[in-house]
Amino acid sequence: MGFFDDLQDRIEKVDSVVSVGLDADLDRIPEHLRDEDLPRWAFNRRIIDATHEHAAAYKPNAAFYEDEDGWRSLRETIAYAHGKDVPVLLDAKRADIGNTTRQYANLLDDADAITVNPYMGRDSIQPFLAREDKGVFVLCRTSNPGSADLQSLELASGEPLYERVAALCDLWNENDNVGLVVGATGPEELEDLREQVPDLPFLVPGVGAQGGDAEAAVEYGLADGVGLVNSSRGIIFAGEDQGEHFDKAAGQAAKRLKERLNQYR
């Protein structure tokens, strides 16, 4: 079973395409958890308990775990999510050359899928692609303002760079394990890309804190019903002002997003 088969099962089981972004920013973790041995893990555990019934996947962003305690917290978090039968997509945006990118691919020993950056080309992500049972989401069209700097550049062949990236990813999808990261901030781009690569599931960030279009995210983000729409801060910090009851608000926010997205499925 590949990652996207597992994801499909999960989506059907919980009737949800919500990815919950575990961006466990130490500065925003509730006061009462900061004295714990591993505050990020303590936070994530409560978030997982409160949201897993609505989560198709968890998406920890590696940026929030890049220190000694961070890696311990991340490993505990992944194991705990697995205990709840929820796949974990590590948002790492990695890629490098030869022996180095093989090293990065070890991040997939724990996680079920990863995000990677295409700028260095196919061999830079090959060790990820080669893991047949794991998912590889390649950055294609991101949702930040500066994404136009490179991604929208018009090629001599007439299409913008990000469309070429989508076409390359379609070629690189020999193991049926490739997806694309496509922001919800450009609904017409989502539509065009879905038409161009009908088989690649999308991970759509930018719904929630970034204010993207939920309808387009669902209508075009899913390939045969499989794909993910992510919200991070909009879920995990929904109860930021509610002290020890922060997790209840997170659970409600995940449920609301699930229901909002399910209107369009």
Please give the positions annotated as active site: 93
Segment 190 to 249, residues that bind its own copies, using CB under 8 A: 205, 233
Is 100 a binder of its own copies (CB under 8 A)? Answer: yes
Q: Quote the CA–CA distance of 8 and 53 in Å, as a whole number.
A: 15
Q: How far is CA 104 from CA 48, 111, 123, 127, 135, in A?
A: 26, 12, 13, 9, 14
Is 64 a binder of its own copies (CB under 8 A)? Answer: yes
Is 38 a binder of its own copies (CB under 8 A)? Answer: no
Residue 56 DSSP one-character state: S
Q: How many CB atoms lie within 10 A of CB 163?
A: 21
| 29-37, 87-95, 242-250, 256-264 -> range binding its own copies (CB under 8 A) | 87-95
Neighbouring residues of 125: CB distance < 8 A, sequence distance ≥ 6: 95, 101, 116, 118, 136, 138, 172
Nearer to its own copies, 11 or 178 (CB): 178
Is 161 a binder of its own copies (CB under 8 A)? Answer: yes
Q: Two tokens at 171?
A: 């070629």
Q: Which of 6, 53, 96, 215 is close enough to bind its own copies by CB under 8 A?
A: 96
Residue with tokens 């449920």: 255
Q: Two tokens at 116?
A: 């990677």
Q: How far is CA 90 from CA 22, 63, 230, in A?
A: 10, 10, 13
Q: Which of 89, 165, 218, 254 is close enough to bind its own copies by CB under 8 A?
A: 165
Q: Quote the CA–CA distance of 189 and 183 in Å, as a whole number.
A: 9
CB of 224 to its own copies, least distance (A): 27
| 119-127, 192-200, 213-221, 256-264 -> range binding its own copies (CB under 8 A) | 119-127
Q: Which of 7, 22, 95, 113 is close enough to bind its own copies by CB under 8 A?
A: 95
| 6-14, 89-97, 129-137, 250-258 -> range binding its own copies (CB under 8 A) | 89-97
For 176, phi and psi rounded to 5 degrees?
A: 50, 40
Is 167 a binder of its own copies (CB under 8 A)? Answer: no
SS3 2: coil
Is 101 a binder of its own copies (CB under 8 A)? Answer: yes
Q: Radius of gyration of the chain from Cα atoms?
A: 18
Is 36 a binder of its own copies (CB under 8 A)? Answer: no
Handedness of CA 63, 236, 184, 176 (dihedral sign): positive
Is 146 a binder of its own copies (CB under 8 A)? Answer: yes
| 39-47, 90-98, 222-230, 247-255 -> range binding its own copies (CB under 8 A) | 90-98
CB of 144 to its own copies, least distance (A): 4
Which residues contact its own copies by CB under 8 A? 23, 25, 61, 63-64, 66-72, 93-101, 103-104, 106-107, 117-124, 126, 139, 142-151, 153-158, 161, 164-165, 168, 205, 233
